[in-house]
Structure 1
Amino acid sequence: MRTAQPRRGRRGAVSLPQTEARRRLASPTLAMLPRVSDGLSFLYIDIARVEQTDTGVCAVIETSAGGVQRTYLPTAALACVLLGPGTSITHRALSTLMRHGTTVVCVGSGGVRCYGAVQPADRTTAWLERQARAWADPEARLDVAVRMYELRFQQEIERGTPLEVLRGIEGSRMKALYRTLAQRHRLKPFKRNYDPSSWGEQDPVNLALSAGSQALYGIAHAVIAHLGCSPALGFVHSGKQHSFVYDIADLYKAQTTIPLAFSLAKSHDPESEVRRRLREDFRLYRRLPQIVRDVQWLLDPDQPDPQEAEEEPVRLVELWDPERGSVAGGVNHGDDVM
Structure 2
Amino acid sequence: ERALEFANIGAGEQVRLTDRVSYLYLEHAQIIQDKTGVIALQSDETGNTRGQIRVPIGSIAVVMLGPGTSLSHAAASSLAAAGTTLMFTGGGGINSYATARPLTGSARWAEAQARLWASSSHRVAAARQLYKARLGGMPLPVNARIATLRGLEGQMMRAEYKRLALKHGIKFRRETAAEDPVNVGLNLGNSILYGVAASVCSALSLNPALGVIHQGDARALFYDLADVYKQTITLPVAFLSAKEKDPQGFVRRKVRSVITQRRTLEDMLTMTMRILSPHLSDIDGDVLLDDIGTVAGHTNYGQPEV
Normalised to the residue count of structure 2, the TM-score between the two structures is 0.67
- 2:8 is aligned to none
- 2:12 is aligned to none
Contact 1:60 1:68 in 2 (8 A): no
Distance in structure 2 (CA, Å) of the matches to 1:285 and 1:111: 16
* Structure 2 residue 119 is matched with structure 1 residue 142: no
Query: Aligned in 2, Cα 1:92/1:145: closer, same or farther, shift over 3 Å?
Result: same
* Structure 2 residue 225 is matched with structure 1 residue 251: no
Q: Which amino acid aligns with 2:182?
A: A
Percent sequence identity over aligned pairs: 29
* Structure 2 residue 76 is matched with structure 1 residue 114: no
Query: Which structure dedicates a bigger proportion of its chain to helix?
Result: 2
Contact 2:87 2:195 in 1 (8 A): yes
Q: Which amino acid aligns with 1:208?
A: V
Residues 108-132 of structure 1, C-alpha deviations (whole Å, 9 max, x = no match):
4553232332426975444433333
After TM superposition, give the deviation of residue 78 of structure 1 in Å.
Answer: 5.2
Q: Which amino acid aligns with 1:248?
A: L
- 1:44 is aligned to 24
- 2:259 is aligned to 287
- 2:10 is aligned to none
Query: Aligned in 2, Cα 1:139/1:107: closer, same or farther, shift over 3 Å?
Result: same
- 2:3 is aligned to none
The structure with more radius of gyration: 1
Match of 2:24, SS state, is: strand
Match of 1:330, SS state, is: coil
Match of 2:232, SS state, is: coil
Distance in structure 2 (CA, Å) of the matches to 1:300 and 1:186: 40
* Structure 2 residue 85 is matched with structure 1 residue 103: yes
* Structure 2 residue 274 is matched with structure 1 residue 301: yes
Residues 262-320 of structure 1, C-alpha deviations (whole Å, 9 max, x = no match):
5677x7xx9x97534313x252475278443344333321799xxxxxxxxxx865545
Q: Is there any run of 5+ residues in structure 2 with no aligned partner, and where?
A: 1-14, 278-283
- 1:61 is aligned to 41
- 1:236 is aligned to 213
* Structure 2 residue 188 is matched with structure 1 residue 215: yes
Residues 160-190 of structure 1, C-alpha deviations (whole Å, 9 max, x = no match):
33212212322332333233334334567x7
Distance in structure 1 (CA, Å) of the matches to 2:211 and 2:139: 20
Contact 2:25 2:66 in 1 (8 A): yes
Distance in structure 2 (CA, Å) of the matches to 1:156 and 1:244: 23
Distance in structure 2 (CA, Å) of the matches to 1:165 and 1:126: 33
Query: Aligned in 2, Cα 1:241/1:286: closer, same or farther, shift over 3 Å?
Result: same
Q: Which amino acid aligns with 1:292?
A: L
- 1:130 is aligned to 112
Q: Which amino acid aligns with 1:117?
A: T
* Structure 2 residue 158 is matched with structure 1 residue 181: no
Q: What root-mean-square deviation, in Å, do the aligned CA atoms of Structure 1 and Structure 2 show?
A: 4.3
Query: Aligned in 2, Cα 1:167/1:95: closer, same or farther, shift over 3 Å?
Result: closer
After TM superposition, give the deviation of residue 59 of structure 1 in Å.
Answer: 0.4
After TM superposition, give the deviation of residue 329 of structure 1 in Å.
Answer: 3.0
* Structure 2 residue 306 is matched with structure 1 residue 332: no
Equivalences, count = 275
Distance in structure 2 (CA, Å) of the matches to 1:151 and 1:317: 35
Q: Is there any run of 5+ residues in structure 1 with no aligned partner, and where?
A: 1-33, 305-314
Distance in structure 2 (CA, Å) of the matches to 1:79 and 1:154: 26
Normalised to the residue count of structure 1, the TM-score between the two structures is 0.62
Relative contact order higher in (CA < 8 Å, ≥ 6 apart): 2
Contact 1:43 1:82 in 2 (8 A): yes
Distance in structure 2 (CA, Å) of the matches to 1:68 and 1:261: 31
Match of 1:250, SS state, is: helix
